[in-house]
Chain A
Amino acid sequence: MSTPQEAITAPKAATGFWKDNLRDYGMLISLVVIVIFFQVATGGVLLKPLNITNIVLQNSYIVIMALGMLMVIVTGHIDLSVGSVAGFIGAVAAMLMVQYNFDFVTASLLCLVLGGAIGAIQGYFVAYFKIPSFIVTLAGMLVFRGFMIAVLSGRSIGPFDPTFQKLSSGFIPELISSDGGLYLTSFILGLLLAALLVWQNFRSRARRMLHDVETEPMAFFIGKNIVVLAAIGYVAYLIASHRGLPNVLIIMGVLIVAYGFFTNRTIIGRQIYAVGGNARAAELSGIKTTRLVFWTFVNMGVLAALGGLVVAARLNSATPKAGTGFELDVIAACFIGGASAYGGVGKVTGAVIGAFLMGVMNNGMSILGIGIDYQQVIKGLVLLGAVCVDVYNQRR
């Protein structure tokens, strides 16, 4: 069923492509600019293999929690309790493993279930009781911070079993012996990932062309893939020349891919965006909005718990201060990544880029010796600036 009209409108679509995608690539470009800036300012320290690995390790839990937060924000809600929940779960993990000698698998599973239960309680109040999420999770923030201190009795508990520590500080085993200090397994895995991404891009482009769907210009497409290949290859090389792939990077990578697929391609993912875009219209289209909101909070709880475990393993102890202020970093990552505070808008890739943008800035500024005071000022201004640019772009 095609009309002559369609043929006429086709060229217009090509200009539309740039406009539509500027926002997505804009984020990525900002990240690259900031990386280059700090690379120069720190005299090349930023992209040293050791430092790259550090950035990944330092920000892994923010990225993990940002995935859950993104869904919450997309439904038009907010979760202020994630930092406290992460800290509380870390404390429970320490109690189970250090004081009661649970093995780390059982303890970790129990912790994830507990996180889900916490999310379910908060989600129940938000979704079914219709209490604003800001209030429910503000209460949760206080409650779980309190519980954490109670569990720890105000002390730190540690150290953990070495196996559990591997969650955060371990690296994947090296299968190929190598010389020259390069961890070949990790490097090859990185290259494979890059190749997979490019192959996927080509496949989906071919499929779109087959069905006459408008696609990006060929030159742009090839350029994009070369950049993807080069960037991932380079990062893989850097990581491989330190100690190889950290375990937590694998967890993070799998989660990013899974949530990216879930939000983009599944019915439930689509429905979550619909709830945030217009809850009444979604409901009148047969979408079970309350149930979806409830489950996004359960999901957030589980990911906050995972974040808490990663932090505890990294610090090798549960401390009463753990998790303080995480919620702000996580929420900032989502908003810097283009999520809308009104709901309905936000991408997984955006949140991940947002988290790394904050991470690179933290790291770079620390290397430069900027005090924690001005670091906060700069981070705050970057958050405000990023959202301003976004609002301005949307108004055009």
Chain B
Amino acid sequence: MPDPVSQTEKPPILEMRGISKSFGAVKALSDVSFTVKEGEIHALVGENGAGKSTLMKVLSGVYPHGSYEGSILFEGEERHFRDINDSEKLGIIIIHQELALIPLMSIAENIFLANAPSKYGVIDRDVRYKRTKELLAKVGLSEVPEALITNLGIGKQQLVEIAKALSKDVRLLILDEPTASLNETDSAALLELLKEFRRNGITSIMISHKLNEITEVADRITVLRDGRTVGTLDCHEGPVDEDEIVRRMVDRDLESRYPKREPKIGDVIFEVENWSVHHPQHASREVVKNVSMKVRAGEVVGISGLMGAGRTEFAMSVFGKSYGRDISGTVKIHGKTADTSDVHRAIEAGLAYVTEDRKHLGLILTEDIRKNVSLAHLSGVSTRGVIDDIREMKVAQEFRSRMRIRSHNVYQETGKLSGGNQQKVVLSKWLFTNPDILILDEPTRGIDVGAKYEIYSIINELADAGKAVVVISSEMPELIGICDRIMVMHEGEFVGEVAGEQATQENIMRAIMRRKGR
């Protein structure tokens, strides 16, 4: 239960009023209002993509004043932040999920990276040492200031980040998923620290998916959904039910955003058995833990889970070992063990993996549509090693009209296309390899509603053509809308499986949260 602190009478330290923010045609935030009282711990919850991070970027000045609508009042005055320095000057400090520490520098150097105590431009090491010691004591770390970041565990690194924030005279501390990569003990220690900050009058905003932690420390909880504020719950007005939060987080109207399909499901054509993968740098960390799955011809199977659950790692390691090390397990295609030891062989075996990161892993942005489409299957447009440019162009044109890629022609650079059209080029590339099994990783990330519908239609067509389709997505409504079956992944394991017709966001979330609560 939260500590009974009487701050109800205190004035708000932060008021965000009517915030709207769009990226091109995509509306990330619409008319969001968000108020934080002085001295409280305020939790911000919502699904992936609900707009939590965008809201915090607006607050911290990453998106400068003028690039959004609405107003920000901090300590009673309207503020126009031009960049993150402006907000930091007022003591608004954000700690991101991916830590911003430099691994090969010491704790002291990291804490005082930009504002080292100095005389005439020369760093005063003694002062730095002393102040680092004090800060480390505040966050409960006993490491020496000279210790290198790279030698610290992730939990301690998180504490160093917080110490760094404290060095800047923090008024409002924002933590983005602070416990996402921490174990139980470290998480508990961090939550204790937040409570202590509250006693010392520091206000915190905490973004988290871990509802049990939120109900433990938060004074108030604001729920975002699809870029809108759903409501704010006050934990001091009575116990807050986790299910109540979940119900508010998920959106229940699926409307007609998903094209209909009559599933014609055949035999199992794709099996993964006892699949384990270790982290490429930290060999002792098992990212995927002895996982098995089966997919039938004509079936669309979803993999749900939070960020960092190991879904992408699973998919990429299956696809020619393109992620991780010490990979073990077997892949069977059409009942026979398949050689997927490198990407080339995986493609030959009939696998295709459509990446979640199309700009970095999917496309050659400086090349045109034509060359991107043929890239994974150049032998399909050539004779004895020589490319037939006419054939290549015809293939590209065929995909361009079939996928409705909007461009001047097939000679347009893919870097100049919109997200949805880029995604269609990546899909074309993989369809041209004529795979039996397609793994689509976040196929609709960052693309507008219309293009999403087209991508869902393509997925349906593929399933109807007897292919096995695996869709990884962080958007639960999407999985429920298009999948015949949804597997739930958490911390490298499948923790639940829900048949398509029974799938609701509540029961998927519950499968995850049950595990988290343990």
Q: Hey, which bits of chain A sit against chain B, CB under 8 A? A: 1-3, 5-6, 9, 12-13, 16, 20, 207-208, 211, 213-214, 265-268, 270-271, 273-274, 277-278, 280-288, 344-345
Contact = CB atoms under 8 A, between A and B. Distances in A.
A211 B319 CA distance: 37
Interface in B87-122: none
Contacts of B364: 274, 277-278, 281-282, 344
A6 B397 CA distance: 10
A16 B411 contact: yes
B361 A277 contact: no
A1 B32 CA distance: 46
B343 A267 contact: no
A283 B343 contact: yes
B378 A270 contact: yes
A20 B370 CA distance: 15
Contacts of A266: 382, 385-387
B409 interface: yes
27 contacts: A1-B397, A2-B401, A3-B401, A265-B389, A266-B386, A267-B378, A267-B379, A267-B386, A270-B378, A270-B387, A274-B367, A274-B375, A278-B363, A281-B362, A281-B363, A282-B364, A284-B319, A284-B322, A284-B353, A284-B362, A285-B347, A285-B375, A285-B376, A286-B342, A286-B343, A286-B344, A286-B376
Contacts of B398: 1
A283 B382 contact: no
B401 A267 contact: no
Rank and list the top 4 A-B pairs by shortest CB-CB distance, nearest first: A277-B364, A285-B376, A286-B344, A278-B364
A283 B322 contact: yes
Contacts of A281: 360-364, 375
B361 A280 contact: yes
B366 A345 contact: yes
Nearest to A269: B387
A278 B387 contact: no
Given A281-B364, A286-B347, A268 B385 contact: yes
A281 B375 CA distance: 10
A16 B411 CA distance: 10
A277 B362 CA distance: 11
Contacts of B366: 277, 344-345
Given A267-B382, A282-B375, A285-B376, A13 B390 contact: no
A270 B344 contact: no
Nearest to B407: A9
B347 to A, nearest CB: 5
Nearest to A283: B343
Interface string B310-334: 0000000001101000000000000
A12 B375 contact: no
Nearest to A208: B390
Contacts of A274: 364, 367, 371, 375
A214 B343 contact: no
A277 B367 contact: yes
